[in-house]
């Protein structure tokens, strides 16, 4: 507001300046206040008049420039502060969402939100701030213009209004284009993520051509979308510019020939008009930009709503400070049923009744798709039974308790995940207080110490795409070491040694043997030879437990599923 006031006065000061250099008659009564401003000026010595007016003019313009600079900084701080909040809220909300939420969503959609929708929202916020500034600015300029000539200003406003009403359909079109941008970018990010995750398959099977043609079609649509929006905006700008030319011609004619305003007043009107009209054009452009980003706002808003509804509950009665939860008796599944999709008839788990004793090793086996991973996900509370209960030490766990329980769980998946950090960082993320000695001990446990010692910088070697690339088996061993370092009360190995050779697998078996009695171990294994020493083996088929018992007992039953699986493996290894 101050900036536009200063600018208004700056224009106003042009009058005495112009009259001093003889271009205008300052005694003219057509411009309000000008004579009262001119009077003290007249009393000054003649060689001081122009410098004084120019100094006033300079001060006003410099003040305006400084304030504008400040305004740009404040705008940026507001915008960036808002975006930082949004980023943090989104990331934190996503991290703390429950597993059911992640089962429904594509991971690439989160990348899309974080990398394309957030910058669009950021741009939308910036444009909105600009629009607010422009509106304030324009209101003040309108005040000045009304003061100078009410009828002409009202005529300008009326024309602006007619043009704005006419342009409403363009705003709707901008919004439709924005919706297309959102969908196209979602497809773009999703496709790129999928393709580069599967780049080895693409290269090995010569599928480059098919992917390139998919990409080409998408790029064409993206290009068209952006060009259409630019066309829309340039057409709006042209409409405003064309209208400006007609209006100026009309006003000059009307003022001179019809209402006979004085030349000085007309000069001011033209000056103000030339400042006011571009603001209308800028407002139209901002409104179109905002309309284009509204789908991104809505998308982000919807994600935020979903994330809020999917937040993991706060642990009830198990405060953070309590540390790891020790399981004394064990876990129990009682009449558990579970479906991923409640609209379909088939169950991933049905009628499961199972005890997993504490500090013993339980192995879960079965054909692919039998429900082994689903059982584990339920054990650690990632998913909840549709009916039935999961109990820990005889107590049914609510969602909050199972969230707390996961602090005492170490889970090693089929596809071990390492961060692009050093070995040390990858280990300490699980146990921030772990000493170097305990790290080496964990690595020894996982039969990883000798190869880590041979890495160029030992524990400080950076792993991953941009660092040292490890083989599948080496990655599995580091992740295993990380799991152990945490000293969990429940250790889950989901095919965690599948990439290891027999020698390394045997040394891990021995290490697990040493752990027996100090923690509950649940192993999912396809290679049945690795679970000989398990205290209990649970055989799943089609989501149901079909056998349970020790290795010797189950392998003796040739007609049972376990016996059949053993026979298949024996035949396969011949």
Least distance from ligand ATP to the Cβ atom of residue 545, Å? 12
- Closest by CA to 115, choosing from 346, 314, 296, is 296
The length of the chain is 574
Question: Closer CB to ligand ATP, residue 346 or residue 435?
Answer: 346
Q: How far is CA 12 from CA 31, 138, 145, 223, 265, in A?
A: 9, 16, 11, 47, 11
Q: Which of 366, 381, 388, 488 is close enough to bind ligand ATP by CB under 6 A?
A: 366
Instruction: Please say which residue, 315 or 371, places its beta carbon nearer to ligand ATP.
Output: 371
Q: Find the binding residues for ligand ATP in span 84-103 (CB under 6 A).
A: 103
CA neighbours closer than 13 Å in the CB half-sphere of residue 552: 2
Give one DSSP letter per residue of 506-536, joined into a string.
Answer: HHHHHHHHHHBTTBEEEEE-SSGGGGTT-SE
Between 29 and 369, CB nearer to ligand ATP? 369
Q: Which is nearer to ligand ATP, 65 or 369 (CB)?
A: 369
Smallest distance, ligand ATP to C-beta of residue 222, A: 31
E strand or H helix at 396, and its extent? strand 395-396
Neighbours of 422 (CB within 10 A): 20
Residue whose CB is less far from ligand ATP, 15 or 348: 348
Q: Which is nearer to ligand ATP, 16 or 371 (CB)?
A: 371
Stretch that binds ligand ATP, among 93-101, 274-282, 365-373, 398-406 (CB under 6 A): 365-373
- Name residues contacting ligand ATP, limited to 177-236 (CB under 6 A): none
What dihedral angle (degrees, nearest 10) is formed by the CA atoms of 568, 569, 573, 574? -40
**Binders in 102-121 for ligand ATP, by CB under 6 A:** 103
Q: Which residues contact 500 (CB under 8 A, 6 or more apart)?
A: 473, 476, 477, 508
Between residues 343 and 368, which has the closer beta carbon with respect to ligand ATP? 368
Binding flags for ligand ATP, 335-364, as an x/- string (CB under 6 A): -----x-------x----------------
Within 8 A by CB and 6+ apart from 11, the residues are 144, 268, 271, 272, 275
In the complex, least distance from residue 109 CB atom to ligand ATP, rounded to whole angstroms: 15
With vertex at residue 45, the alpha carbon angle to CA 40 and CA 51, rounded to the nearest 5 degrees, is 80
Binding-site member from 8, 16, 160, 371 for ligand ATP (CB under 6 A) = 371
Q: Are 230 and 174 in contact (CB under 8 A)?
A: no
Sheet holding 330-338, edge to edge: 349-357, 330-338, 387-392, 395-396
Beta carbon nearer to ligand ATP, 343 or 552: 343
Two structure tokens written together for 97: 């969402």
Q: Of 133, 149, 182, 374, which one interacts with ligand ATP (CB under 6 A)?
A: 374
Question: What's the closest the beta carbon of residue 367 comes to ligand ATP, in angstroms?
Answer: 7
- Choice between 11 and 500, CB closer to ligand ATP: 500
Q: How far is the CB of 489 from ligand ATP (least distance, A)?
A: 23
> Rounded to 5, what percent of the chain is helix, strand, coil?
65, 10, 25
| One of 29, 32, 369, 556 touching ligand ATP (CB under 6 A) | 369
The three-state DSSP-derived secondary structure of 286-327 is HHHHHHHHHHHHHHHHHHHHHHHHCECCCCCCCCHHHCCCCC
Tell me the closest approach of the beta carbon of residue 368 to ligand ATP, in angstroms: 3
Q: How far apart are CA 34 and CA 262, in angstroms?
A: 14
User: Which region among 198-206, 288-296, 366-374, 474-482 touches ligand ATP (by CB under 6 A)?
Assistant: 366-374
The residue (of 183 and 541) whose beta carbon lies closer to ligand ATP is 541
CA distances from 265 to 35, 148, 204, 560 (A): 13, 7, 78, 103
Is 416 one of the binding residues for ligand ATP (CB under 6 A)? Answer: no
Count the site residues for ligand ATP by CB under 6 A. 11
Q: Which is nearer to ligand ATP, 364 or 479 (CB)?
A: 364
- Contact window for ligand ATP (CB under 6 A) among 116-124, 352-360, 369-377, 451-459: 369-377
Instruction: For residue 161, give Cα distances in angstroms to 149, 171, 400.
Output: 18, 15, 57
Q: Interface mask (CB under 6 A) for ligand ATP, residues 295-334, using x and -?
A: ----------------------------------------
Eight-state DSSP code of residue 117: I
- Considering beta carbons, is residue 363 or 370 the nearer one to ligand ATP? 370
Rg (CA), the chain: 37
**What minimum distance in Å lies between the beta carbon of 477 and ligand ATP?**
21
Residue among 325, 361, 370, 481 that touches ligand ATP (CB under 6 A): 370
How far is CA 230 from each of CA 70, 97, 177, 237, rounded to the nearest angstrom? 30, 39, 11, 10
Least Å distance, CB 496 to ligand ATP, is 13
Q: How far apart are CA 385 and CA 405, in angstroms?
A: 17
Structure tokens at 554: 């189950």
* Residue 431 and residue 416 in contact, taking contact as beta carbons nearer than 8 Å: no
Nearer to ligand ATP, 507 or 569 (CB): 569
Q: Can you give the binding site for ligand ATP, defined by CB under 6 A?
A: 103, 340, 348, 366, 368-374
């Amino acid at each position: 507001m101050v900036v536009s006031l200063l600018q208004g006065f700056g224009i106003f000061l042009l009058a005495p300046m112009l009259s001093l250099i003889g271009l205008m008659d300052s005694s003219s009564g057509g411009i309000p206040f000008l004579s009262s401003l001119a009077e003290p000026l007249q009393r000054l010595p003649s060689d001081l008049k122009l410098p004084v007016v120019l100094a006033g003019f300079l001060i006003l313009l410099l003040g305006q420039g400084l304030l504008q600079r400040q305004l740009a900084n404040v705008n940026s701080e507001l915008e960036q502060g808002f975006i930082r909040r949004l980023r943090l809220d989104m990331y934190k909300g996503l991290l703390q969402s429950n597993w059911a939420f992640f089962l429904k969503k594509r991971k690439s959609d989160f990348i899309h939100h974080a990398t394309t929708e957030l910058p669009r929202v950021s741009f939308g916020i910036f444009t909105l701030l600009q629009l607010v500034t422009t509106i304030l600015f324009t209101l003040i300029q309108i005040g000045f213009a009304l003061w100078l000539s009410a009828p002409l200003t009202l005529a300008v406003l009326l024309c602006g209004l007619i043009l704005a009403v006419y342009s409403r359909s363009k705003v709707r079109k901008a919004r439709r284009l924005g919706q297309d941008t959102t969908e196209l970018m979602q497809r773009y990010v999703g496709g790129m993520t999928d393709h580069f995750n599967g780049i080895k398959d693409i290269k090995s099977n010569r599928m480059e051509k098919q992917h390139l043609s998919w990409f080409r079609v998408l790029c064409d649509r993206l290009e068209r979308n952006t060009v259409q929006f630019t066309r829309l905006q340039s057409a709006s700008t042209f409409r405003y510019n064309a209208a400006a030319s007609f209006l100026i011609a009309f006003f000059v004619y009307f003022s001179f020939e019809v209402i006979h305003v004085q030349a000085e007043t007309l000069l001011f009107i033209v000056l103000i008009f030339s400042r006011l009209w571009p603001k209308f054009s800028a407002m139209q452009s901002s409104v179109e930009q905002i309309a284009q980003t509204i789908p991104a706002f809505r998308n982000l808003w919807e994600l935020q709503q979903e994330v809020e509804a999917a937040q993991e509950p706060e642990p009830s009665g198990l405060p953070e400070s309590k540390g790891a939860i020790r399981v004394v008796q064990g876990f129990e599944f009682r009449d558990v049923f579970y479906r991923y999709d409640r609209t379909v008839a088939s169950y991933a788990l049905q009628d499961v009744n199972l005890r997993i004793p504490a500090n013993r090793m339980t192995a879960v086996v079965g054909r692919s798709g039998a429900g082994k991973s689903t059982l584990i996900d339920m054990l650690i509370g990632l998913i909840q039974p549709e009916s039935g209960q999961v109990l820990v030490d005889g107590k049914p766990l609510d969602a909050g308790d199972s969230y707390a329980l996961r602090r005492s769980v170490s889970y090693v998946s089929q596809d071990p995940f390492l961060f692009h950090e050093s070995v040390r960082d990858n280990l300490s993320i699980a146990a921030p207080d772990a000493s170097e000695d305990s790290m080496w001990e964990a690595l020894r446990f996982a039969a990883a110490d000798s190869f880590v010692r041979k890495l160029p910088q030992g524990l400080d070697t950076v792993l991953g795409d941009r660092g040292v690339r490890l083989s599948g088996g080496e990655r599995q061993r580091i992740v295993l070491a990380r799991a152990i370092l945490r000293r969990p009360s429940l250790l889950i190995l989901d095919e965690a040694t599948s990439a290891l050779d027999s020698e390394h697998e045997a040394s891990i078996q021995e290490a697990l043997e040493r752990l027996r009695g100090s923690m509950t171990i649940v192993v999912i294994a396809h290679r049945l030879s690795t679970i000989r020493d398990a205290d209990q083996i649970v055989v799943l088929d089609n989501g149901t437990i079909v056998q349970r018992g020790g290795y010797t007992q189950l392998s003796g039953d040739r007609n049972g599923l376990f016996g059949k699986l053993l026979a298949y493996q024996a035949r396969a290894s011949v």
